[in-house]
C-alpha cells in the first residue's frame, strides 16, 4: 500500500512579542534602550574580579544587578552568573509578551546561546581543586558551567517543555540562537520560543586570555569612557562585557489569535562560514557579505530595502575594517546611504550574548523609529567611511533592519527584522 502523500511544507511567519534585556547600560529593556539612545557609556573599571595585574582592567558590567530579584538564594548558589542574567532577561521578555507558558508548555521551547558559559564558576572551582584537592570540588560544577545550562535553567524556571538547546558559535551565539529558534517555529515544531543569549565572562582568566590573543583593548585603562571605539582610527580592541537578552518569538497566527502585541517580524536568518582563520575575519569581509546576501534572499528583499544595519562593530582593527567592506560589497553605492551603528560602542562586547542584545536593539529601533548612535568615533578611520550615526540618536522611517554577528572560528550570522504597521 502506497504511503499517503506528505503535506506541503508551509513556512510559518515569526513574530516578536516580547523583549527582555540586562546590559551594562541598564537593568531591563526600557533602561537599556533609553541609555543607548542617549549614547551613555557602560564601560568602567573591573569590579567583578581582581584586575590590578591584568593588561586590561576595564569592562562592561551589569551594575546593580541582584540575582535574588529573580531566583531564591538556594537556586542562586547553584547557578552561574550567566544563568542569572538569562533568567532575568527571560522573565522580563515573558512579562512583556503576556505569553501564558503553562497553557501550552509542550509547544513552547527555549534556546539561549552562550559562547563560554559559566567561566566564573569554572575558575572558582579550579582554584578549589588546585588548593584543596579533587574531593572538595562542587557537585554542581558541571551543571553550573556548561554553556547549555542557561537554556536548561530557563526551561525549568518557566516550564517551557518544547525544543530546548543552546548554540555555541563564539560571538555569533546569541544571533544563532535567535535565528535557529525562528526556524524551529517556521517548521512547526513549536508555537513559541524563548530565544536569546547570555554571557558573564568578566573573569581573570577570560581577560588574560583575550588580552593574550591581542583581541582586547589594553591601552585605554585610564579612559574607560572612550575605550570602546568602533570605526575610530585609534581603536585597539574590544572591551569585554557581560549581559543577556531574550526575545519571545511566536508563530504569527498564534500571536494574533491571543491578541498579543507584535513588535516586529523576524523575516530571515542568513549564515556563512569564513573557512579562513581561527580568529581573523576573511579577507575583505567576504564571509560576512555572504551571510547578509543569504538573509536578503530569504527575506525577498533588495539591499536598498534595508534602512538600518546594526553592525557587529567590535572596535577591533580588522573586524571594523572588513565589516565595512562587507557592507559595501552587499549594498554597493547604497552603502553610503544606510545608517550603521555599533551597540558595542556603549556596552562593550558581550561575546555570546551580543547577537541577542543587538537583535533586541534592532527590534526596539523598528518599534521606536529611532536608531542609537555609535559612540566614540572621535577620529574616523578613512577605511571606515560609512554613516555610523555619530551625531546622536536619529529618528527615521524604518521598515526593515539588519543585524550582523561575526564570531571567532569564522561564524557569520545576519538577521533581518521588519516593522509591524498599525
- Pairing mode, if any, of strands 340-341 and 370-371? unpaired
Tens digit of each residue's pLDDT (9 = 90 or more) over 379-416: 999 999 999 999 999 999 999 999 999 998 889 999 99
- Helix extents (H) in 78-236: 81-97, 119-132, 141-145, 149-158, 173-186, 204-212
Q: Is 225 exposed, middle or buried (0-12, 13-18, 19+ CB in 10 A)?
A: middle
pLDDT confidence tier of residue 5, bands split at 50, 70 and 90: low
Tens digit of each residue's pLDDT (9 = 90 or more) over 284-295: 888 999 999 999
What whole-number distance in Å separates Cα of residue 191 and Cα of residue 182?
Answer: 10
Identical fold at 14-257 and 268-419?
yes
Q: Known catalytic residue: 96? A: no
Task: Give the mean pLDDT of the chain.
Answer: 95
Q: State the catalytic residue, choosing from 110, 171, 218, 384.
A: 171
- Pairing mode, if any, of strands 58-60 and 43-45? antiparallel
Q: Which residues pair with 400 in a beta bridge?
A: 418
DSSP letters for 374-403: PTT-SSB-TT--SB--TTS-EE---SEEEE
pLDDT score, position 284: 80
- Pairing mode, if any, of strands 370-371 and 108-113? unpaired
**Contact call for residues 47 and 61 (beta carbons, < 8 A):** yes
Distances (CA, A) of 310 to 49, 206, 387: 31, 26, 12
Q: State the catalytic residue, choosing from 349, 372, 384, 411.
A: 349
**Contact call for residues 91 and 20 (beta carbons, < 8 A):** yes
Count other Cβ atoms within 10 Å, centred on residue 27: 18
What whole-number distance in Å separates Cα of residue 335 and Cα of residue 330?
Answer: 8
Q: Known catalytic residue: 110? A: no
pLDDT score, position 4: 59
CA atoms within 13 A on the CB side of 117: 19
DSSP letters for 11-66: PPPEEEEEEEEEETTEESHHHHHHHHHTT---EEE--SS--TTSS--EEE--TT--
Distances (CA, A) of 274 to 149, 230, 315, 411: 28, 22, 20, 7
Task: Pick one of 1.20.1050.40, 3.40.47.10, 3.30.1950.10, 3.40.50.300 as the CATH number of 14-257.
Answer: 3.40.47.10
Percent share of the chain, pLDDT over 90: 93
Tens digit of each residue's pLDDT (9 = 90 or more) over 213-249: 999 999 999 999 999 999 999 999 999 999 999 999 9
Give me the residue spans of the domains in the chain. 14-257, 268-419
Q: State the catalytic residue, choosing from 84, 96, 254, 312.
A: 312
Class for the domain spanning 268-419: alpha beta
Q: Is 127 exposed, middle or buried (0-12, 13-18, 19+ CB in 10 A)?
A: exposed
Tens digit of each residue's pLDDT (9 = 90 or more) over 94-126: 999 999 999 999 999 999 999 999 999 999 999
pLDDT confidence tier of residue 279, bands split at 50, 70 and 90: confident
**Contact call for residues 63 and 163 (beta carbons, < 8 A):** no
Tens digit of each residue's pLDDT (9 = 90 or more) over 53-96: 999 999 999 999 999 999 999 999 999 999 999 999 999 999 99
Count other Cβ atoms within 10 Å, centred on residue 140: 15
Tens digit of each residue's pLDDT (9 = 90 or more) over 322-362: 999 999 999 999 999 999 999 999 999 999 999 999 999 99
Q: Which three cell numbers stand for residue 111?
A: 534556546
Closest CA to 240 of 277, 202, 296: 202
Q: Known catalytic residue: 312? A: yes
What whole-number distance in Å separates Cα of residue 193 and Cα of residue 269?
Answer: 15
Amino acid at each position: 500500500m502506497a504511503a499517503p502523500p506528505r503535506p506541503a511544507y508551509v513556512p510559518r511567519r515569526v513574530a516578536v512579542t516580547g523583549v527582555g534585556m540586562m546590559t551594562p547600560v541598564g537593568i531591563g529593556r526600557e533602561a537599556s534602550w533609553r541609555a543607548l539612545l542617549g549614547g551613555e557609556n557602560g564601560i568602567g573599571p573591573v569590579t567583578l574580579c581582581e584586575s590590578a595585574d591584568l593588561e586590561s582592567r576595564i569592562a562592561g558590567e551589569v551594575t546593580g544587578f541582584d540575582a535574588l530579584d529573580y531566583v531564591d538564594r538556594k537556586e542562586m548558589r547553584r547557578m552561574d552568573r550567566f544563568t542569572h542574567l538569562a533568567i532575568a532577561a527571560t522573565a522580563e521578555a515573558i512579562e512583556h509578551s503576556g505569553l501564558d507558558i503553562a497553557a501550552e508548555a509542550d509547544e513552547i521551547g527555549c534556546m539561549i546561546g552562550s559562547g563560554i558559559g559559566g567561566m566564573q564558576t569554572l575558575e572558582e572551582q579550579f582554584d578549589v581543586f588546585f588548593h584543596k584537592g579533587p574531593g572538595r570540588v562542587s557537585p554542581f560544577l558541571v551543571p553550573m558551567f556548561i554553556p547549555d545550562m542557561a537554556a536548561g535553567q530557563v526551561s525549568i524556571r518557566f516550564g517551557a517543555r518544547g525544543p530546548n538547546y543552546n548554540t555555541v558559535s563564539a560571538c555569533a551565539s546569541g544571533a544563532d540562537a535567535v535565528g535557529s529558534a525562528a526556524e524551529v517555529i517556521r517548521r512547526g515544531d513549536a508555537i513559541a520560543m524563548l530565544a536569546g543569549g547570555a554571557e558573564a565572562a568578566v573573569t581573570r582568566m577570560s581577560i588574560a586570555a583575550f588580552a593574550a590573543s591581542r583581541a582586547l583593548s589594553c591601552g585605554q585603562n585610564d579612559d574607560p569612557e572612550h575605550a570602546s571605539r568602533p570605526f575610530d582610527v585609534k581603536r585597539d580592541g574590544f572591551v569585554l562585557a557581560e549581559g543577556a537578552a531574550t526575545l519571545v518569538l511566536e508563530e504569527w497566527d498564534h500571536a494574533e489569535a491571543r491578541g498579543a502585541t507584535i513588535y516586529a517580524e523576524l523575516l530571515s536568518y542568513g549564515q556563512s562560514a569564513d573557512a579562513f582563520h581561527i580568529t581573523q575575519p576573511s579577507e575583505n569581509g567576504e564571509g560576512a557579505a555572504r551571510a547578509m546576501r543569504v538573509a536578503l534572499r530569504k527575506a525577498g528583499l533588495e539591499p536598498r530595502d534595508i534602512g538600518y544595519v546594526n553592525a557587529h562593530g567590535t572596535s577591533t582593527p580588522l573586524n571594523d575594517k572588513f565589516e565595512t567592506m562587507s557592507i559595501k560589497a552587499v549594498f554597493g553605492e547604497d552603502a553610503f546611504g544606510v545608517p550603521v551603528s555599533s551597540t558595542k560602542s556603549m556596552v562593550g562586547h558581550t561575546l555570546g550574548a551580543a547577537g541577542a542584545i543587538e537583535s533586541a536593539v534592532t527590534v526596539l529601533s523598528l518599534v521606536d523609529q529611532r536608531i542609537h548612535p555609535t559612540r566614540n568615533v572621535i577620529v574616523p578611520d578613512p577605511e571606515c567611511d560609512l554613516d555610523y550615526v555619530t551625531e546622536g540618536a536619529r529618528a527615521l522611517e524604518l521598515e526593515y533592519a539588519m543585524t550582523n554577528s561575526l564570531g571567532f572560528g569564522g561564524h557569520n550570522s545576519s538577521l533581518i527584522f521588519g516593522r509591524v504597521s498599525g
